[in-house]
Amino acid sequence: MNPSSDEPCLVSLKTACALTSLSRTMLNRYRAEGRFPAAVPLGDKRIAFVKSEVSEWIVARIAARAANDNTRKGVAA
């Protein structure tokens, strides 16, 4: 069963790490600093992330890189 694009989809910590190319340690550090989407608690020792929020975080990081590159090169954004 494939969820439709408007249905929320949860991904594991391991999958969030794979999607972002972050280690578990770095992802947890970003979470603690409020620099990564909040986890959804699933049980006593299980969390997940909303996939669309992780995707938005990735897009924002790419956009920040592009903005930083343009600033560094002296190009107007």
pLDDT, tens digit only, all 77 positions of the chain: 565 667 999 999 999 999 999 999 999 999 999 999 999 999 999 999 999 999 999 999 999 998 887 766 665 54
Assigned domain for 5 exists: no
DSSP 8-state symbol, 2? P
The number of distinct structural domains making up the chain is 1
The domain of 67 spans 10-73
Assigned domain for 29 exists: yes
Report the CATH number at residue 29.
Answer: 1.10.1660
Assigned domain for 4 exists: no
Q: How far apart, in whole angstroms, are the C-alpha atoms of residue 50 and residue 12?
A: 9
Assigned domain for 3 exists: no
Which run of H or of E encompasses 42? Answer: strand 40-43
At residue 21, the pLDDT reads: 97
At residue 49, the pLDDT reads: 98
pTM: 0.79
Question: What's the one-letter identity of residue 1?
Answer: M
At residue 56, the pLDDT reads: 98
C-alpha closest to that of 60 among 40, 36, 43 = 36
